Structure formats: structure tokens, C-alpha cells
Amino acid sequence: MENKIIKEMRKIKSITNKTGSPLVNMGPIRLRQPLPSHTVEKVDPFILLHHYGPYAISEFNNPFDLGPHPHRGFEPITLLYKGEQLHRDSLGNEMLVKAGDVQWTTAGRGIIHAEGPSKEFVQNGGELEGIQLWLNLPAEKKMMQANYQHLKSEDIPVIENQDKSIKLKIVAGNIQGVKGLIITQTPVNVFNVYAKESGTMNIDIPENHQSLFYLLDGEVLVNNESLLKKGAAQMLTFSEEGDFISIESKIKSTMLILSGEPINEPIAQYGPYVMNTQTEIMEALRDFQQGKMGYLY
């Protein structure tokens, strides 16, 4: 009887916004940017979501080769879905990120990193696709020591729906008592969801979290009311009220679900720096020029 009452008290999160994933130019790279957009400025604490690829990488076409560049004040995260990327940083890390892997960088007071398809991948050719995500840090942690975490695909905890048609990989956070391996600086959930066919699943999201659902590929009905398709509307945001969302995959689909406890602090952003004030941005520019964020060649 008690379990029945608990189930009846659960409430689905209402959809607050439905938006596309427009193509934008980032230097020589053309990619999708659903966040920020003209309809959704941020989903606190997430401030940027870039969906790049799939690109056909070869020796004659390699647009996604980002040389050394700095970051401060947030966590740049890469979720790789296809291909291979080489990560290098000023902490001395050099890691090959493969499809399904995650690279989670805590820029903190400053880091220089570079990423791009590995030489072997470029020579052999293949498709490259990923998500670049910017996760804000609260003021008290913006100047923390930089750090890097690499999570291999095979090590990511997984839960499945009843008929095993949908699996959810817990990159960070926790769900149904299963915890992700990434150490986070604020309460966040990062879930990769894969449907191999049609199926349904309810996904728990804490009531005090801001959250979003992004469709990379396929066709999915969310909360039995909003149908998302690749190339059309691909992102939804939700109210904080409520404690779960429901998904129904129509075909083979790939999805990303993010949620986090809002930081609720002012943001000053300039290029690769995310701070709280313009003075702190000027300090970041000076510190980079003076080599205080390290070096990478």
C-alpha cells in the first residue's frame, strides 16, 4: 500500500520549451547549437551545447582539429559518439578518446588543451560525431585546481528498461540507486540514452534540477506529447516541478539528457572564459598572456 501511494505522488515534469538545433559557424567548423539559442539562453548550470558532426573525416577533410586554447571558470566536456579524438592538455594528459568515451575537463583557474581526430583516424578515415558541453562552476570553485577525467565507454554504468529496448548510460550523477563514475563539482546528471528499436522508459530527474532533452538521431515522443525528429525540433527543456520524464522511441535513436541544480549566479563570458564579472574576465586574459594557465605545444 505504501509503495502504491509513493507512485501516485510522482509527477511528470512539464515541457517548457521546444526548439531546433540550428547550424552555426565556429571558425571553419559548421555545427549545431541548440544552447544557447534565441529561445533558450541557458539551462542552469549548462551554458553551451554544441553538436558536431557526423563529419566524414579523411586526409582531405579534417575540419574539427582544435589546436591549443585556454579555458577558465567552467567544465568543458566532450561526449564522443563516433570516431576518435586525441586530447592533450597543459596538465600533461594525453588520452585517446574513442566512440562512447567521455572527456571531462575541469578548467578551474585555467588549463590549455587541444583536441582533434587522431592521426590514425584521419589516415584511415571515418565518421566523427560528438557533443561539446559547457558546465558552469559556482564562484567559489571557479579558481580551483584544473583537473581532467577520462571515462571509457565500457566502464560507464548502465540501466535498461524492462524489455531491454532502451539503455541509459550514467556518465555523471545517479538514477535508481546507480551512480556515475565522474566526480562532479555540483549536483548534475548526464545520461546518454540509446534505443535500439521502439520502446518506452521513465527517467527520474530531481525536482530542484533544471533539465533538458536533446535528440542526436532517430525519432522520440517525450511525455506523450512532443515528437522530436533529427533535423527538426531536437531539444526540450522542462519545469523544475515534477520528478520524471517519459520517453517513447519510435525507431533506433540516440539521446542526451542533462539535469543540474541551478547555480543562480551572474555570468560574464568572453570567448573561452566563463566568470562572474567583467573584471574577472580581464584577469583571465592577463593570466593567459602571462602563461599562468600553463603551456601546450
pLDDT, position 5 = 46
Distance between start and end Cα atoms, the chain: 64
pLDDT in tens, 124-182: 999 999 999 999 999 999 999 999 999 999 999 999 999 999 999 999 999 999 999 99
Q: What is the structure's pLDDT at 29?
A: 86
In sign, the C-alpha dihedral spanning 51, 56, 57, 59 is negative
Residue 25 amino acid letter: N
How many whole angstroms separate alpha carbon 184 and alpha carbon 166?
25
Q: How confident is the model at residue 64 (pLDDT cuts 50, 70, 90)?
A: confident
The Cα–Cα gap between 234 and 217 comes to 9
Residue 151's alpha-carbon distances to 4, 221, 227, in angstroms, are 38, 30, 31
Q: What are phi and psi of 214, to 5 degrees?
A: -125, 130
Determine the Cα–Cα distance for residues 215 and 192; give it in Å rounded to an integer. 10
Confidence category of residue 28, pLDDT binned at 50, 70, 90: confident
pTM of the predicted protein model: 0.94
